[in-house]
Amino acid sequence: MSQALSGRHFLKLLDFTPAEIAGLVDLAQDLKQKKHEGIPHRYLEGKNIVLIFEKTSTRTRCSFEVAGHDLGMGVTYLDPSGSQIGNKESIKDTARVLGRMFDGIEYRGYGQEIVETLAEYSGVPVWNGLTNEFHPTQMIADLLTIRENFGSFPGLKLVFMGDAKNNVANSLMVACAKMGINFVACGPAECMPDAQLVETCRAIAAENGCEVQLTSDVEEACTDANIIYTDIWVSMGEPASLWEERIKLLSPYQVNAQVMSYAADDAIFMHCLPAFHDTETAVAKDIEERFGLTEMEVTDEVFESPRSRVFDEAENRMHSIKAIMLATLG
Ligand code: CP
Ligand code: NVA
């Protein structure tokens, strides 16, 4: 497995075959077992990686740091203000400097073209820790979580509710099409994924015996679904002024008990996190004051229910990021 992806970048799932994606999920599962059993796996002793975060993070940063340490590597973190990137030094130059010092580079930030440029010029594997367009490391964790619950992928139905044009929804559409999972984007017309990407995913889905559907009908979308997935209504990098418009557009697509009741008996709820399911954050308190909402994309009832797998997903970020680094650096 490690051999097969050695030296590759991990920028978007479109670049990988279903067998390669399944291999990463298998490796993540194996590394999860080793971690739980306390079996050391310092396979990358002596290597060094750098993590560039131009947007904030809890899960992705901590996953790269813990996974890097577990694999025996040195880890350097560059926060949004801690380097010359973008202000005094271009991405192209940054790539050529960091590539001389590090064995791998993680990038979280804005346009997909930035991470593609880093990959083109660095000479070492580059991992996409989230861009405006895609969030591919999240997908390996989500696929692992799905397989832990259902045993395999083909024939399952995953519904993404809400802002179906964001990075997580785009990535889920690709991941599902590759793995034979029927994907439904459920939201208003204004929040549907890019038509070109939908066309690409439909062609991939046809090869793998599944479908990609877009709909605004919640009951139709969620009937018999195995997985109901949602994400925040305004993503990082989007202006806060969008909240009012998004709340109006997306409130009908909130994941609540009614929505879950349409799904299959064994259906699970997933969310990449962070989630607005209560008023225990500064942003949520501000939204409550301005719009009177105490929950947004998911109700607290669903978030805290036995069907919710959100913390398994969060844990799986670490195991899957470890698998991605081991496969590409090993
Ligand atoms: N799901 C996810 O990427 O979380 P962070 O923004 O905390 O990294
Ligand atoms: N769509 C969200 C995902 C966060 C993990 C964002 O980009 O902010």
Per-residue pLDDT, 82: 73
Ligand 2 within 6 A of CB of 145: no
Q: How far is the CA of 62 from the centre of ligand 1 (A)?
A: 9
pTM of the model as a whole: 0.98
Q: What is the mean pLDDT of each run of 10 residues along the chain (330 residues)?
A: 82 98 98 98 98 96 98 94 81 96 97 97 98 98 99 98 98 99 98 98 98 98 98 97 98 98 98 98 96 97 98 98 98
Per-residue pLDDT, 86: 77
Ligand 1 within 6 A of CB of 166: no
Residues annotated as catalytic (active site), given as ranges: 108, 135, 138, 231, 272, 317
Ligand 1 within 6 A of CB of 84: no
Neighbours of 72 (CB within 10 A): 14
Ligand 2 within 6 A of CB of 231: yes
Per-residue pLDDT, 256: 98
Q: Which ligand 2 atom is at minimum distance from the Cα of 231?
A: 1
Q: How far is the CA of 161 from the centre of ligand 1 (A)?
A: 18
Q: How far is the CA of 232 from the centre of ligand 1 (A)?
A: 11
Domains of the chain plus CATH, in order, are: 13-135+317-329 (3.40.50.1370), 138-315 (3.40.50.1370)
Per-residue pLDDT, 215: 98
User: Looking at ligand 2, which residue's alpha carbon is closest to its atom 1?
Assistant: 235
Per-residue pLDDT, 84: 76
- Which residues 6+ apart lie within 8 Å of 269 measured at CB? 227, 228, 229, 255, 260, 298, 302, 303, 305, 307, 308, 309, 310
Which ligand is closest in space to the CA of residue 141?
A: 1
Per-residue pLDDT, 85: 84
Ligand 1 within 6 A of CB of 271: no
Structure tokens at 144: 């692992």
Mutate to test the pocket of ligand 1, among 53, 60, 131 (most ligand atoms within 8 A of CB): 60
